[in-house]
Amino acid sequence: MNSYDNPFLNSQPIFIQDQPLPALDGSTASPAFSACRCLVLMQTDRDLISRQRAVTVASNDNAATAIARSKDIEWTGNAAEWFRSTLDRTAYAIKMLTDDVETTQRLAMEA
């Protein structure tokens, strides 16, 4: 029995042409003198990370400003202490998120 007669070898194609890889149109070869698709995809990812970083940093700056202003409220008691401790935890989380976003962008740009 040769491979042409074996129903198990011929039942499933190795590469299904109707289901190309993501971001590839079914062809893995790049035309001559064009950018490698991997480089194009990598730059697209870097651009997305940069945009998300900018939005996150702007949002975090707005939140940090609001937290700083709310600390000036004259208010005493248990609720005020709880409120301020919650603000401190939130400010810390915002700082950590900003640091993580900066690290993510730095790593993406190095790749």
Asked if residue 105 lies in contact with residue 52, where contact means CB atoms within 8 angstroms, the answer is no
Neighbours of 67 (CB within 10 A): 16
pLDDT of residue 39: 85
Identify the residue with better confidence: 75 or 22.
75
Q: Which amino acid is at 97?
A: L
Can you give the residue ranges of every domain in the chain?
35-110
Q: Does pLDDT of 4 surpass 60?
A: no
Q: Which of 14, 97, 8 is nearest to 59 (CA)?
A: 97
Tokens 């700056």 appear where? 61
Tokens 């609720």 appear where? 79
Q: Name the range with the highest mean pLDDT among 4-13, 18-27, 90-99.
A: 90-99
